[in-house]
Amino acid sequence: MPKFKLDDYEIEFSPGETVIQAAERAGRSIPHYCWHPGLSVAANCRMCLVEVMPPPGRPALSLDVLRFDEKKGDYVKAKKPKLQPACQLAASDGMEIKSDTSEHVIEARAAVQEFLLLNHPVDCPICDQAGECRLQDYWLDHSGRSKRMRDEIIHKPKAVDFGPTIVYDAERCIVCTRCVRFCEEVVGDPVLDKRERGNLGEIVLAPGRKLDHAYTLMTEYVCPVGALTAKDFRFKARVWFLKSVKSICVGCATGCNSYTDFDPRDQTVYRYRPRENAAVNRYWMCDEGMLDYQRIRERRILRARVQSDPGASATDALHKAAALLKGPGLAVLLSAEHSSEDNVSVLELGKALGAEQFFMTGRPNGEGDNILRNADKNPNRRGILNLLPTVSSLAALEKAVEAGQVTRVLALGSAVDGSADFLRKVPVVALSVHDGPIAQAARVTLPAASWAEAQGTFTNAAGLSQVSEKAVNPPGDAQPGWRWALHLAGALGVSLPFTKGSEVRARVQPRPSTAPSAQA
Ligand code: SF4
Ligand code: SF4
Ligand code: FES
């Protein structure tokens, strides 16, 4: 493989790669604002400037400049190497590049940083990007000095309502055009554009438009500074209080890789962010997915419920459920909303109780697109099909109930892809997260942990099994579905082929998620 030298490191590259791409892949980050691995190269911020050493025997490319001479108190003529943007510079074999080891690069980065902050309000204490802002990080790493401009800054529009989800602050904007390129190149909706030049530059909406496509939060997420902020997250949390786990979006069958950001102090999830995976979602997520954390708390079932005894305790409910599940005609209703761990546990419990009829349901279909969104709004339909290729539909369960072939149901899940009214005709024991049609029809409901409250394996539409980590503790009496299955097995005196979470997980055999690609 061809190589180039970056400071003291040998970096291998594939033909066609730029210096910044190869360096990022090798874990040697070059500072950058406007470059994003998933977008075209704009090369407008100049933060990634590097010094390219001349080949042996060739003179260096240099520029005539005026440099301030402290002793003379005046500018004097000088020469300095012509620095080049690493984001636009094609890597070539044997090339020698200085980044952190070049005094000219260090000086240029500090100058770019000072320049970008000349008209910036430096309102970090009230900015939601604080703590994860590149202007802050790079100021500390590459500048660290006060700006020298004493004039009033150029004032520009603030708190501009860009649409239902995003607010724009032109004073914080470094006009890197990442947001413009994202809308145009990834979403195919050129709703944003840049107007004016220099210190008057700002981002504007296309006439008559709002930023209202299906990927607006991602548009905000690619902004490296606090110019675009999400209405959903604004003023809700400080990022330095948040912890993150690696999760899988359960908003649809694509299975985008994400981070779940939560505050461990109040066990609250505040947002989802994309996690890079070249094989699934590249760098992106859709709005539906990024806001899906809100569903964790919606219509949440916190306590075990017995329809005929509203005051029943969790123990009472467990024993009532066990009594309802005994006897012939038991069917199992699996849920494509739930992890394979939950589904395999409920399936095994059903089999141990003599069930021979197995069905599957989940959230109804929704809108899909050719970017990421799958019309199947369930994260694990393929996972169930892997467990049970012959599983039948909810409509088939209705027929079996009407025909008297099914006389009791052990159901996992909250939503259904059809009508669940027929479930009221037979005793149903439900393991549900939300108070949906299944829980409302059930004689006994045991509160299940949501996807953010238990580790789980989800197999996406392409057949890739991925693990989503636990972020917060289940609220109230909620427990992972697999644990309820074990409790029920204990109450019924049957044994399951596993006794703890690690054994359940071993049965669903997840394949590790593809390694992340370059850092955005
Ligand atoms: S709003 Fe953000 S992403 Fe868009 S140009 Fe300004 S700084 Fe860049
Ligand atoms: S495309 Fe599907 S999996 Fe990806 S973020 Fe959107 S809802 Fe989640
Ligand atoms: S990253 Fe902006 S010029 Fe290279």
Q: Which ligand is nearest to the CA of 182?
A: 1
Pocket of ligand 2 (CB under 6 A): 249, 251-252, 254-256, 281, 285-286, 288-289, 372-374
CB of 174 closer than 6 angstroms to any ligand 1 atom: yes
Give the containing element (helix H, strand E) for 469. none
Tell me, what's the pLDDT at 144? Answer: 83
> Domain of 395: which CATH number?
3.40.50.740
Q: With contact defined as beta carbons under 8 Å apart, do 81 and 61 qualify?
A: yes
Ligand closest in space to the Cα of 162:
1
How many Å lie between the centroid of ligand 3 and the Cα of residue 36? 9
pLDDT of residue 520: 55
Please work out whether the CB of residue 228 comes within 6 Å of at least one atom of ligand 1. Answer: yes
Answer for the pair 451, 316: CB distance below 8 angstroms, yes or no.
Answer: no
pLDDT of residue 396: 98
In this structure, what token pair is assigned to residue 44?
Answer: 């407008």
Question: Tell me, what's the pLDDT at 156?
Answer: 96
**Count: domains in the chain:** 1
* HEC per residue, 264-329: CCCCEEEEEEECCECCCCECCCCHHHHCHHHHHCCCECCCCEECCCCCCCHHHHHHHHHHHHCCCC
Q: How far apart are the first and last CA of the chain?
A: 25
- Residue at 245 is within a domain: no
- pLDDT value, residue 515: 44
Tell whether ligand 1 has an atom less than 6 A from the beta carbon of residue 520.
no
Contact 45 CB / ligand 3 (< 6 Å): yes
Q: Which ligand is nearest to the CA of 88?
A: 3
Ligand 2 atom, smallest distance to 285 CA: 5
Q: Which two tokens stand for residue 330?
A: 């038991």
Q: Measured from the CB, is residue 176 less than 6 Å from ligand 1?
A: yes
- Residue at 84 is within a domain: no
Look-up of token digits 């708390």: 297
The interface predicted TM-score (ipTM) is 0.96
Please report, in tens digits, the pLDDT of each residue of the chain (520 residues total).
999 999 999 999 999 999 999 999 999 999 999 999 999 999 999 999 999 999 888 888 899 999 889 899 999 999 999 999 999 999 999 999 999 999 999 999 999 999 999 999 999 999 999 999 999 999 999 988 888 888 999 999 999 999 999 999 999 999 999 999 999 999 999 999 999 999 999 999 999 999 999 999 999 999 999 999 999 999 999 999 999 999 999 999 999 999 999 999 999 999 999 999 999 999 999 999 999 999 999 999 999 999 999 999 999 999 999 999 999 999 999 999 999 999 999 999 999 999 999 999 999 999 999 999 999 999 999 999 999 999 999 999 999 999 999 999 999 999 999 999 999 999 999 999 999 999 999 999 999 999 999 999 999 999 999 999 999 999 999 999 999 999 999 999 999 999 999 999 998 875 554 444 444 5
| In a domain? residue 85 | no
Domain that holds residue 428: 305-508
User: Per the domain annotation, does 111 fall within a domain?
Assistant: no
Point out the ligand nearest to the CA of residue 36: 3
| Whether the CB of 173 sits within 6 Å of ligand 1 | yes
Cα of 347 vs centre of ligand 2, distance in Å, is 27
SS3 452: coil
Tell me the CA–centroid distance for residue 359 and ligand 3, in Å.
54
Atom of ligand 2 nearest to the CA of 372: 1
User: How many whole angstroms from its chain centre is CA 383?
Assistant: 21
Whole-number Å distance, alpha carbon 329 to ligand 1 midpoint, is 61
Cα–Cα distance for residue pair 368/252, rounded to 1 Å: 9
DSSP label at residue 513: P
Does residue 494 sit within a domain?
yes
Q: Which atom of ligand 2 is nearest to the CA of 255?
A: 3
**pLDDT for the residue 510:** 55
Whether residue 315 is contained in a domain is answered as yes
Task: Tell me whether residue 250 is in a domain.
Answer: no
- Ligand 2 midpoint to CA 295 (Å): 14
**Given this model, what pLDDT does residue 519 score?**
47
In a domain, 131, yes or no: no
- Answer yes or no: is the C-beta of 85 below 6 A from any ligand 3 atom: yes
Ligand 2 centroid–CA 345 distance in Å is: 26
Indicate whether residue 439 lines ligand 1 (CB < 6 A). Answer: no
Q: Which numbered ligand comes closest to the C-alpha of 468? A: 2
